[in-house]
Amino acid sequence: MSNIQETIRSGKLPQHIAIIMDGNGRWAQQQGHERTFGHKNGVEAVRSIIEGAGELGIKYLTLYAFSTENWNRPKEEIEMLMGLLIQSIHNELEKLIKNHVRLMMTGRLSDLPESCQNALQDAIDRTAFNDGLTVVLALSYSGRTELTDAVRAIAQKSANGEITPSEITPETISNHLYHNEIPDPDILIRTGGDYRISNFLLWEIAYSELFFSPIMWPDFRKENLFDIIYDFQHRERRFGKTGEQVREQ
């Protein structure tokens, strides 16, 4: 274990890290390749980050792999991405199982091609009882859609007389999101140099610490993640209180 890993492990670990894995296309184009070359090379970054998060003992890692808006991309790119998903699951599943990784997904599974749904569901089922790192793949995910689905479910309960409007609290909304059992992210990272959220986890990141990295996703490695976690451990999260109040706790 490297020095920085030892240092991080002696501090307070984030429970949940969420990553917007951006910059694949530009990374490839900068080298005169097709965008899809960047997606292929992005898999190595995913491998490194899962490995690094596992080594540190992080509980949850959510990876934004495909947004609802990404369905508007060229058909060939979408097909390539869906194929890459199946292939990556196929190649990595045994190693994930060996490393006690539990795989989950967030988003609308039913939007994906059937072959993807099957591969994903199989991997989710086969890792369901693993007690190491939980990796949540966000696929056909949209923060606004997740909130819309929650509002629909709550409205239905209200129509059934199970809840009155005045009983609806922020906790009610949290409890109706796709994964109410997962704590909100402590850290949100976006690679690729842009400063935006692109419809990711809108509700859940209310108090996340934000990190924007200029590194394109295919070049991102666990060492970059460790630097961010080290930085996180030196930030003061005040949650609305004063610094004095926080330090007295």
CA–CA dist 78, 72 (Å, integer): 9
Measuring CA to CA, which residue among 218, 166, 230, 155 is closest to residue 192?
Answer: 218
Residue nearest to ligand IPE (CB): 25
- Listed in order, strand segments (DSSP E) in 9-56 are 16-20
Measuring CA to CA, which residue among 99, 104, 98, 144 is closest to residue 123?
Answer: 104
Other C-beta atoms within 10 Å of 153: how many?
15
CA–CA dist 69, 198 (Å, integer): 9
**x/- map, 11-50, Mg ion, by CB under 5 A:** -----------x----------------------------
Nearest distance from C-beta of residue 24 to Mg ion, angstroms? 7
**Contact between 204 and Mg ion per CB under 5 A:** no
70 is annotated as an active-site residue: yes
Structure tokens that stand for 97 in this block: 């199982």
Residue 61 interacts, among ligand IPE, Mg ion, none and using kind-specific CB cut-offs from 5 to 8 Å, with none
- Listed in order, strand segments (DSSP E) in 97-177 are 102-106, 134-141
111 is annotated as an active-site residue: no
**Contact between 21 and ligand IPE per CB under 6 A:** yes
Among 8, 20, 45, 101, binds ligand IPE (CB under 6 A): 20
Q: Which CB sits closer to ligand IPE, 48 or 158?
A: 48
Segment lying near ligand IPE (by CB under 6 A), choices 24-32, 122-130, 171-179, 239-247: 24-32
Among 66, 178, 211, 226, binds ligand IPE (CB under 6 A): 66
**Contact between 37 and ligand IPE per CB under 6 A:** no
CA angle 199, 233, 2 (to 5 degrees): 105
Structure tokens that stand for 140 in this block: 């056909």
Q: Which CB sits closer to ligand IPE, 8 or 62?
A: 62
CA–CA dist 39, 207 (Å, integer): 30
Measuring CA to CA, which residue among 108, 115, 99 is closest to residue 140?
Answer: 108
Residues that bind Mg ion (CB under 5 A): 22
Residues that bind ligand IPE (CB under 6 A): 20-26, 64-67, 70, 81, 192, 194, 196, 198, 217
Q: Which positions are catalytic?
A: 22, 70
